[in-house]
Amino acid sequence: MNLPTSNDEVDMEAMAMNVVNGTNRIYWLGSHSNSKSGNVHPNRFRLFATRVNGSGTGSPPYSLTYIGRYDQLRTDICNWDRNNLHGLGSNYFGLVASTNNGFSSEDVAGFNIEGLCFAPDGTTAYIGFRAPASMLPAPPPRPRSAPTPW
């Protein structure tokens, strides 16, 4: 993964598996956060994929093969906010500022990814954030007789 010998912590926070062309693939996601002291750590900006080999029998029953990585997710997410691609206003979530040097990964205004899962379609991935903590606009009120969607 081309990690430098000093400060090589990746801080993996999430993984999710899906099937690509009949093969199980696991996507691994780093926190993309600064350190607790607020220092920028590019090794944490990792999203990479592995292929699952094996059928559960044999020795070892399974193994992983590294497929590749993508290092621009943090930049892409910040650009999504900066360029108002969500339609709520430019920098609505403050993601660009939250990635600046000095913002701790534990700060409510910091930037910290904690989760990853796939939608039922198997191609859409959802990312869960611990920070920044933002209030989303309230949904419109529903009439009392409207059924709940869940």
Per-residue pLDDT of the chain (150 residues; tens, 9 = 90+): 555 555 666 788 999 999 888 889 999 999 988 888 888 888 898 999 999 998 888 888 999 999 999 999 999 999 999 999 999 999 988 899 888 888 888 888 888 999 999 999 988 999 998 888 766 555 555 555 544 444
Alpha carbon 128 to its chain's center = 6
Q: How many CB atoms lie within 10 A of CB 13?
A: 20
Question: In sequence order, what DSSP letters do the residues of 62-108 get, joined into one string?
Answer: -EEEEEEEE--HHHHHHHHHHTTTTSS-TTTT-HHHHTSTT--TTST
Bridge pairing between strands 63-70 and 47-53: antiparallel
Q: What is the pLDDT of residue 5?
A: 53
The overall pTM is greater than 0.85: no
Backbone angles phi, psi at 61, to 5 degrees: -70, -30
In the beta sheet, which residues pair with residue 24?
Answer: 19
- The per-residue pLDDT for range 31-73, each reduced to its tens digit, is 988 888 888 888 898 999 999 998 888 888 999 999 999 999 9
Residue 137: how many CB atoms within 10 A of its CB?
7
